[in-house]
Structure 1
Amino acid sequence: MSLLLSPYTIRNMTMNNRVMMSPMGMVSAQEDGKVNDWHMLHYGARALGQVGLIMLEVSAVDKYGKDYGSLGIWEDEHIEGMQRLVSLLQAQGSKVGIQLWHAGRKSDIPGHAVSASGLPHGDQDSRALTIAEIQQTIQHFREAAIRAVKAGFDVIELHAAHGYLLNDFLSSYTNRRTDAYGGTVDKRYRLLSEVIAAVRDVWEGPLFVRVSADEYGEEGNRIEHTVQYTNRMKEQGVDLIDVSSGGVYPDKPNVYPGYQVPYAEAIRRQSDIATAAVGLITTGTEAEAILNKGQADVIAIGRALLRDPFWVRTAALQLHESIPAPQPYQAAW
């Protein structure tokens, strides 16, 4: 059997295949951030399509560190809806992950955009977090992880990419602090380090981190800086790096099929840690080639899964293989 369609074990979890639904913000929650019927339908279709790991869209750990329409996990009232969604997806054979997130200076809640150094995002101003507020933010991530345990998630992913709060502290472009949380690589990493430690204190399952491997602008992180961070992440018990790029500068990079795969390969080899490759990977043959070359361990599929909830079956056909049909479909599969 192909690598793409083979089971994959990471820490204490085994996926039925190496396909991960990439987290994509659908902004379809109400202001309260709770799961609704639309999420059941949207994610349920991909579980029926046999996706190995479904990573939910960004879920805010702070009611102000979000966008309108974002899911939330900042209070206990979110647990019940998340639990129902997780159980629904697991019943179809998928593992389920939650992406814990603080929007930082990209929050669209008026007056609540915060950041490492008070830089604006477009026309929106932000305010630099105080040390006390940083400690409170770390506690918010820890409490969110406790709720993820109660909801039954299989994976937690920390969103430290795309210019959101954790990335804002990691970036030498956006982090211009002169205290214990800014300046050197070690100091810029401190917030993420303390968040990882806080989450690991309450979470025994697989822990992923999404990074922007290259920020593309004249200043900011390049792959060599990101590898320094991912080396530290491995030491702290992170299991997989979900490798994206960009999102800090407003300018968009030149994109093409597999344009981020070399970053996943570099981190996998230089940090000796599992990686997920993402970015315009659309066919089973492309995904299989990435795995066979040892460039990544998991393939994260985004927009292609929006267009085709049964992308795993489509990929199997492209690889001249087959996957089991959902029981109710077997007579007509």
Structure 2
Amino acid sequence: MGNEYEISYGKMRVPVYRVYGQPLRGVMPVPESPFLGRDNVLLAAEVDIEVFGTEFLPAYTVGDNSMVVATDSMKNIIIRQALDFDGATIEGYLNAIGEHFIATYGQVHDIRLAVRELPFPAATVPDGEGGFTASAVLFTGSGRSDYATSRLRMKRVDGVPAVVRHESGRCGIKLFKVTGSAFTSFVRDEYTTLPDRRDRPLYIYLDVYWTYDDVDNAFGEKPHRYVPAEQVHDICAAVFGEFVSESIQHLVHEMGNRLLERYPQLAEVRFVAQNRTRDPFYTSDENPEVKVYSDPFSAYGEITLRLTRDGQSASEAAAWDG
């Protein structure tokens, strides 16, 4: 009996820095965020591409590279597409890359693409009148740790490129709330050492992902239907700030409902949250609000939630399956 093969190869972490791209304008405002658009003077990102298919099997079995698109060529195409791309979103850029590969190379019929924003917020500079303003030409790579992301799975369908899976996201969010969170009434047995905490500081790491009911809305051609990662960040932060949660599970459920309420064009939202809450060590004798916390050890709790809009199945939502 012969071997069975599952084949893929590609290029990872291709850095791209595009200056003076198409601005993003016309997004719908939401009450929780001041974000209304971005200038895209600097678009910095890393891109991954992976191609699948037995067409490339001879390269593995007999060293025949006649069907292989070199990963160096992949890198060059990704960079060149950043120049040719006339859209305003990273999802649209990723789609343009995928369409180019499938349209150009007949042997490429199944690809997976990912893009991660490299955050460069505008630097704050003097405005010449005694105040400060965001620079139009200077950007800082040390100003923000969380980033937008997008993933697409594309295949050749009836001879043309088509998106069969997609997911956008905002990853690496870190939020620390000093009061207004609780964790009580959980299972108690001989293994329980954690006390009930009716008011605790809560520190979370948070990755948020979302899927559109129509993937075309991700590409920004209809900006009022586009969901900006900046607004998603701000909505989650606003919910955290105003909501008294009984657990992280309780919190991310509230965040998910708020996102689906604000964006009817979304089919699904998904969360991966880490509990990074620090343990209390000391409390001031003079003022009990003054406390010191520290890291007890490196373990942490992880909480996930996938919230699909009523009437949508996971397959209908075309949720990302890895």
What is the TM-score with the length of structure 1 in the denominator? 0.30
Structure having the higher Rg: 2
Whose helix proportion is higher, 1 or 2? 1
Whose strand proportion is higher, 1 or 2? 2
